[in-house]
Amino acid sequence: MTGSALTVDVFLTAAQLRTALEGDVLRGLTSEPKSIPPLWFYDEAGSRLFEDITRLPEYYPTRAERRLLTQHAGEIARLAHADTLVELGAGACDKTRLLLNAMRSSGPLVHYIPFDVSDEFLRKAATDLLDEYAGLSVHAVVGDFHQHLSRIPVAGRRLVAFLGGTIGNLTPAERQRFLFDLNCSMARHDHLLLGVDQVKDRDTIVAAYDDSAGVTAAFNRNVLHVINNELGANFSPDLFEHVALWNEADQWIEMRLRSTRHQAVHVAELDLDVEFAPGEDLLTEISAKFVPAQLESELLASDFVVDAMWGAAEGEFLLVLAHPYC
C-alpha cells in the first residue's frame, strides 16, 4: 500500500451480520435471564443517540479519554514508534486524528487500518481521512473482533488502538479470550493502546448511564426498535423502563430494560413468542470499570507487558500502552 489509497476488505457481509442478529436475539430472548448484546444498539438512530450521549454533562468517559489523548498523544507516539495505526471499533474515527497527528509529528506515518462491523460507515470515515492526510494509505477492514483479528493486515510497526472503554462490554472470560487472540495477531514490535474507565464513586458512574434528559433511556430502548425493524418483532418500547444498576461484586454497570407489565412479544422472522413478567429485566449492556493493578494483571495474563499508563492518579479514565511479551 503506497500513496494516497483506500483498500477495503470485507470479512463480515450484511447477510452474515443479519445471521448474527438472528442468533443473538434467539439465544438472548430464550435465556434466563434474558439479554441482548450491546452491538445491536447501533443502527443509524442508535449511533446518533450515542453521539448525543457523549455530549451530555453526566457522560464523562468521552471527555476524559479525549483529554488524556490530547495531553499524551505525542508521548504515546514516541513510545510506540509506529508508522501504522490500527483502530478497533473505529466508528467515525473522531479520536483518530489526535493519534495520526502525533504519529506524523514523531516519524513517518504510512498506514491507517480502521476495523469495524459497519461497511458503509467505515468507508465514509476512511474516505474523509484520505482527504485530510496526503499520502496516507487507508486499509479498512469490515469484521468482528471476535472472529477476524487475524485478518487485520500486518503492515509496518503497528499501534493497535482499542479506545472508548469498549473492552468493558466484555465479561472477564471474553476479555481474556479477546486479549489472547489479539496478542496472537501482533508482532513483538507492535503496541496496544487501550482506553478503559476507572472504578469511582457509584453515583458518578450511574449518572453517566442514566442521564436526566433521558437520552440514554432512548438509546437503550432503541435496541427494541432494531429488533422490530429487522426481525418483524412487535415490542412496545414505551412499556419498558430504562434501568442502570451498579454491580458492586463484578465492578460493572448494567443497563437493563424492565417490563412495566405482563407482555407477550412475537418475533415474526424467528417464529418466536416470548413473554415478559411485570418487573422482568432484559439485560442490554455491561460496562466494566477497572483499577490500574487489575488491568495490568489481565494484560499480563494474556502475555502483554505494560509500558506506560496515563490517568491513574486522576481516577477518572485510563490509557494503557502495552506490547506483546514475545
Output the domain CATH number for residue 302: 3.40.50.150
The residues near 274 (Cβ < 8 Å, ≥ 6 apart) are 29, 30, 34, 264, 265, 266, 267
Is position 242 within any domain? no
CA atoms within 13 A of residue 217's CA, in its CB half-sphere: 14
DSSP H helices, the chain, are 14-29, 44-54, 60-80, 96-106, 119-132, 172-184, 202-208, 215-231, 292-301
Least Cα distance to 193 among 31, 32, 58, 309 occurs for: 309
Backbone region of residue 133 per phi and psi (left: phi > 0; alpha: psi in -120 to 50; beta: other values): beta
Is position 241 within any domain? no
Cell 470479512 belongs to which residue? 11
Q: Are strands 252-259 and 281-288 parallel, antiparallel or unpaired?
A: antiparallel
Give the chain's count of helices (H) and strands (E).
9, 14
Is position 248 within any domain? no
The residues near 48 (Cβ < 8 Å, ≥ 6 apart) are none
DSSP state of 156: S
Q: Are strands 158-162 and 191-197 parallel, antiparallel or unpaired?
A: parallel
Cell 472503554 belongs to which residue? 165
- pLDDT for the residue 131: 83
Is position 259 within any domain? no
- The answer to whether 90 touches 116, Cβ cutoff 8 Å, is yes
Is position 157 within any domain? yes
Is position 263 within any domain? no
The tens-digit pLDDT sequence of the chain (326 residues) is 344 578 999 999 999 999 999 999 999 999 999 999 999 998 889 989 999 999 999 999 999 999 999 999 999 999 999 999 999 987 666 788 999 999 999 988 999 999 988 887 788 888 888 888 888 999 999 999 889 999 999 989 999 999 999 999 999 999 999 999 999 999 999 999 999 999 999 999 999 999 999 999 999 999 999 999 999 999 999 999 999 999 999 999 999 999 999 999 999 999 999 999 999 999 999 999 999 999 999 999 999 999 999 999 999 999 999 999 97
Is position 94 within any domain? yes
Total number of domains constituting the chain: 1
DSSP 3-state of 62: helix
Is position 322 within any domain? yes
Show the domain range for 208.
Answer: 1-235+289-326
